[in-house]
Structure 1
Amino acid sequence: MAKRIGVIGIVIDDPRCIVDKINSILSDYGKIIIGRMGIPRHDTEVSVIALIIEGTTDEVGALTGKLGNLPGVTVKSALTAREAAAKGEKKND
């Protein structure tokens, strides 16, 4: 199955209660995560995590499904239509 590059946005209500579970899931899918940025909003008790990912649609679906099933967690993803080139391979347009 082809790998695609995309982004995943995660919004967490009251992160103190769920952050360990989120980090555990993200660690399990670390092989498809290229970059991660987290913004804690202590004043509003909401945190936002942005992920840059490269994986198959099945991998991305499994990750977002597990995160989205956690209470107080909202997840949205967007994948490019273009397939990611394999390591060392140049993608022709």
Structure 2
Amino acid sequence: MEQETRIAVVGIIVENKEAVGEVNQILHDYSPYIIGRMGLPYEKKHVNIISVIVDAPADRISALSGKLGKIRGISAKVMYSKNGQ
């Protein structure tokens, strides 16, 4: 039986540029769920901002965000679609 999936946006702020490799590895691990990704450097504030759109089971989305959030200098938050799709 296939698990129900949700659409969500994972917002990631990278304040520690040395952690980018670890972030990219985690995103690679979750690549089957990733619909799209956009990254923007914001040199004025010395951060990188990444938005990742996923279609995945809720537990996988939470695991992705949790793994990212445990990395020093990385903040990650999830916004889910309202209709549960």
TM-score by length of 1: 0.82
SS across alignment from 1:2:
coil
How much is the aligned-residue C-alpha RMSD, in angstroms? 1.3
More helix by share: 2
Superposition map of 1:59-74 within 5 A: 59-74=60-75
Is the Cα–Cα contact under 8 Å of residues 16 and 74 in structure 2 kept in the other structure? no
CA–CA separation in structure 2 for the residues paired with 1:81 and 1:14? 32
CA–CA separation in structure 2 for the residues paired with 1:11 and 1:58? 21
Aligned partner of 2:23 in structure 1 is 22
| Bigger Rg over Cα | 1
Say whether 1:35 aligns with 2:49: no
The AA in structure 1 aligned to 2:75 is T
Q: Give the aligned length.
A: 83
Deviation, 1:44, is 2.7
The AA in structure 2 aligned to 1:79 is Y
Superposition map of 1:49-88 within 5 A: 49-84=50-85
* Structure 1, gaps ≥5 residues long: 85-93
TM-score by length of 2: 0.89
Question: 1:22-69 CA distances to partner (integer Å, 9 max, x unpaired)?
Answer: 000000000111000000123432000001110011110110010000
* Structure 2, gaps ≥5 residues long: none
